[in-house]
Amino acid sequence: METGSVKNLVIVGQNASGKTSLAEAMLFTSKATNRMGKVDDGTSVLDFEPEEIKRRITIGNSAHHLSWNKTAVYFIDTPGDDNFHTETRIALRCGDTALFVIDAVDPVKPQTGKIWSMVRENALPTIFVVNKMDRERADYMKAVEVVKKDLGVKTVPLFMPIGSQETFSGLVDLIRMKAYVYEKDGSGKFRTEDIPQGMIEETSDLRNNLIEYAAESDDALLEKFLEGEELTEDEIVSGLGKGIAAGGFAPVVCVSALLCIGIPNLLDLISSLLPSPDARGEVPGTDPKTGMPINRAATSDAPASAIVFKTTIDPYAGRLSLLRVVSGVISPDQTLFSTAGNTLEKVGQILRVEGKGLSPADSAGPGEIIAIPKLKETSTGDTLSDPSAPIAYPFVQLPNPVLSYVLKPRSRGDEEKISIALARLMEEDPAISVDRDPEAGGIILSGMGQIHIETTVEKMERKFGVHVDLELPRIPYRETIKGVQKGVIYRHKKQTGGAGQFAEVHFDISPLARGQGFEFEEALVGMNVPRNFVPAVEKGLHEAILSGPLAGYPVVDVKVRFYDGKSHEVDSSETAFKIAAIQCFKKGVLEAKPTLLEPIMKLTIQVPDDAVGDVIGDLNSRRGRVMGMEPGEGHQVIIAHVPLSEIQRYLIDLNTMTAGRGTYTVEPSHYEEMPANLAEKVIAAASGDKAKA
């Protein structure tokens, strides 16, 4: 069968479906590695980070390559855990085909639908690989039907298993109509036999179905098929390849990755059926100088271009940028235009990525995955291209983080190093964000889930020697008033020998509409207060609103009218009037029906239909208000306003209610008055903290 020279794959699937084990089996079978790496015993060449070995899950995208049937196969192994789906989204942006791994025992798990949605968003041709066929309760045809029903996929089996569960020993290739019986020692050795007598009828029916799909993908083949002529093996492969590339259907195969059963057959399909980079047509982008749309042919004779999909920072080796070459050829000592600040980058070495390892390369063309060390400006998401034909490719729209913690450095040394460490980690992982809490002064680390945050902290300690503890962020409450208080008077008088301090201010204090902030009005008449002290009064008020008298939170939506006061020709000063203004403001707020405001967040929650009632009931229990619902395919989108204090760890609870199938985004909406009983608790807690301090 005819093969292309380069194939580019992204291996995706639910966590624990065996994605990394499949990739390890492919590398071992093709002799890209000399031993079978295993996730469970920490010998995987793809899951090499200590945090991955500890948890036995894939945390970050890992790339490798192999050669099979004169075809160079480059692939990215992706995380299946919801905490790290940003990595999966990025990898899918850089792939030509998806290898979707399904567990033969439990085919469609909670996260499977989410990952399939990502594949569909990128319109990637897909092969479904039913793995773990040797496990108890494994059922291939059930898996095929579940994928068809639950994911809405037109499935076309290309293999049929020989035996099942513990007796699984090989497969029938429905294209070649040959049986492949494997040794069960994990060596991948097999012998070719005739199809077992008891499988002939079933496999013949499935092959006819397969041929029909192949014929429908090509007009000439369809005409031949309708006229009753037999399609040749090469014609079947050609038709199937066209149908897969067009997304008309998804082939399904069966394997046992740990036993290396079916892996050579899968590699045969990859080399013969899957589209090469140029087969997917021109790649859309924009001119970085004009912003006008342009397309680039994914061929080696086109101008060079590549997408940076990952950046790693080693404290000793420095920065390493991983790229997927889109078009043209990239060579050492080449100068490329980078969309990062519209700068030029000098390419030194070109390296092929082999999991944790790297090997030198002379050049790289479309579909190949390479690494370039020490690019100065370029980071994840940027495009590199020929300076004479610059192009910028759209990248992944990153989801907003959903869980935040305050980082508490354990020592002064940690405090000094934490900013540098976080800046480096943000380059490696664009899914995390770092902010400084303007009220508490601490650093807030936000991510996509509890495990995501924990692994980030572990990396910080391992790579940069920074030790921190995690605390939930302080809720940014606000204080305001509900009443008007006129004629608030405060006299500051202090005599310590020599020149004293004297200032008296008269204020009217009133509430403003929600969201108006703070307003100061100078309404002095006469000369009781010299006008040169007015700026000191205003400065004192701006300082006073930063820490309200109820619980120390900023005061908002208040107007102060400064209409009178008294001064002393010797003892009055700017400092005295500033102090008087602060104390008069606090006194007035306490007399004007003060109250606490709490931040209200807008939640947009996507949940499966069968969980809508539970989610809405839970929102009600959190003092939330459902503002609307939008129906989707098999799910509902709920839009609600909920107090921030009720959803600081909402992700964990939503996962419980929806079996991991729910997702949400959160953004600030507005502030509302807090119920009195809850406000009292916040005030009491603030008083306790103040007493401790």
- The whole-angstrom separation of Cα 458 and Cα 452 is 10
Q: What percentage of residues in the chain have a pLDDT greater than 70?
A: 97
Mean pLDDT of the chain: 92
pLDDT for 691 equals: 60
Q: What is the pTM of this model?
A: 0.85
d(C-alpha 386, C-alpha 294), whole Å: 14
DSSP code at position 282: P
Q: Which of 94, 89, 82 lies closest to 118 in space, CA to CA? A: 89
E strand residue ranges, 3-68:
6-13, 62-68
DSSP 404-434: EEEEEESSHHHHHHHHHHHHHHHHH-TT-EE
Q: Beta strand pairing status for 126-131 and 97-103?
A: parallel
Question: What is each CA distance from 355 to 44, 188, 363, 456, 479, in whole angstroms?
Answer: 9, 22, 19, 20, 54
Max CA pair span of the chain: 115
> In which band, very low, low, confident or very high, does the pLDDT at 2 lie, cut at 50, 70 and 90?
very low
**DSSP string of 556-595?**
-SEEEEEEEEE--TTT--HHHHHHHHHHHHHHHHHHS-EE
Residue 78: DSSP 8-state: -
Rounded Cα distance, 281 and 273, in Å: 17
Identical topology for domains 403-457 and 597-678: yes
Tokens 């539970």 correspond to: 614
Tell me if 109 sits within 8 A of 42, measured CB to CB. Answer: no
What pLDDT is stored for residue 674 in this prediction? 94
What are the structure tokens assigned to 156, written together?
């076309």
Listed residue (147, 173, 169) closest to 160, CA to CA: 173
State yes or no: pLDDT of 562 exceeds 80. Answer: yes
Cross-strand partners of 507: 488, 562
Residue owning tokens 């060390």:
373
Task: Determine the distance from the C-alpha atom of residue 158 to the mean position of all C-alpha atoms in its chain, rounded to a whole number.
Answer: 33
The pLDDT, as a whole number, for residue 412 is: 85
Burial class (CB in 10 A: 0-12, 13-18, 19+), 222: middle
3-state helix, strand, coil in the chain (%, to 5): 30, 30, 35
**Would you kindly state where each structural domain of the chain is located, as residue ranges?**
6-280, 283-385, 403-457, 478-592, 597-678
pLDDT digits (tens, 9 = 90+) for 552-561: 999 999 999 9
Q: How many helices (H) and strands (E) does the chain have?
A: 16, 34
Please list, in sequence order, all residues whose beta carbon lies within 8 angstroms of the beta carbon of residue 52, skipping any fewer than 6 positions away: 44, 58, 59, 60
Q: Which of 591, 553, 561 is nearest to 687 (CA)?
A: 553
- Domain 403-457 belongs to what architecture? 2-Layer Sandwich (3.30)
DSSP tag of 198: G
> Tens digit of pLDDT for each residue in 485-524?
999 999 999 877 667 899 999 999 999 999 999 999 999 9
Q: Looking at the domain that runs over 478-592, which CATH code has it been given?
A: 3.30.230.10
Cα separation, 285 vs 339, in Å, equals 12
Q: Which tokens go with 33?
A: 């590695």
DSSP, collapsed to helix, strand or coil, labels residue 634 as coil
| Cβ burial, residue 534 (10 Å; 0-12/13-18/19+) | middle
CA separation for the pair 581, 46 (Å, rounded) = 64
- 315 or 206: which leads in pLDDT: 206
What residues have CB less than 8 Å from 41, skipping those under 6 apart?
Answer: none
Average pLDDT over residues 541-547: 95
363 Cβ contact list (under 8 Å, min separation 6): 329, 330, 331, 332, 350
Interval 109-148: pLDDT, tens: 878 888 999 999 999 999 999 999 999 999 999 999 999 9
Burial class (CB in 10 A: 0-12, 13-18, 19+), 191: exposed
The predicted pLDDT at position 553 comes to 93
Asked if residue 690 has pLDDT above 80, the reply is no
Q: Is the pLDDT of residue 358 over 70?
A: yes
Q: In what order do the strands lie in the sheet with 433-436?
A: 433-436, 443-447, 403-409, 468-471
83 secondary structure, DSSP code: G
Q: Shortest CA distance to 274 belongs to which of 237, 315, 303?
A: 237
Strand 351-354 to strand 485-494: parallel, antiparallel, or no bridges (unpaired)? unpaired
Nearest by Cα to 97 from 227, 35, 10: 10
pLDDT at 1 over 50: no
pLDDT in tens, 419-473: 989 999 999 999 999 998 766 678 999 999 899 999 999 999 999 999 999 988 8
What pLDDT does residue 632 have?
Answer: 75
Rounded CA-CA distance 169/255 in Å is 10
- Do the Cβ atoms of 198 and 164 come closer than 8 Å? no
Taking 50 as the threshold, does the pLDDT of residue 189 lie above it?
A: yes
Please check the confidence at residue 570 and state whether its pLDDT lies above 60: yes
Neighbours of 51 (CB within 10 A): 18
Q: What architecture (CATH level 2) is domain 283-385?
A: Beta Barrel (2.40)
CA distance 261 to 182: 6
User: What is the number of alpha carbons within 13 Å of residue 63 lying toward its C-beta?
Assistant: 29
Give me 65's structure tokens.
């390559």
Partners of residue 7 on adjacent β-strands: 73
Does the domain made of 6-280 have the CATH classification 3.40.228.10? no
Q: What's the whole-number mean pLDDT along residues 143-159? A: 93
CATH fold of 597-678 = Alpha-Beta Plaits (3.30.70)
Q: Any idea what the Cα angle at residue 268 is, between residues 365 and 106, rounded to 5°?
A: 105
Cα–Cα distance measured from residue 221 to residue 227, given in angstroms and rounded to the nearest whole number: 10
Confidence of residue 3 (pLDDT cuts 50, 70, 90): very low
Q: Is 412 exposed, middle or buried (0-12, 13-18, 19+ CB in 10 A)?
A: exposed
**Dihedral of CA 639/645/647/653: which sign?**
negative
Q: CB 657: neighbour CB atoms within 10 A?
A: 16
What is the CB-side half-sphere exposure of residue 13 using CA atoms within 13 A? 28
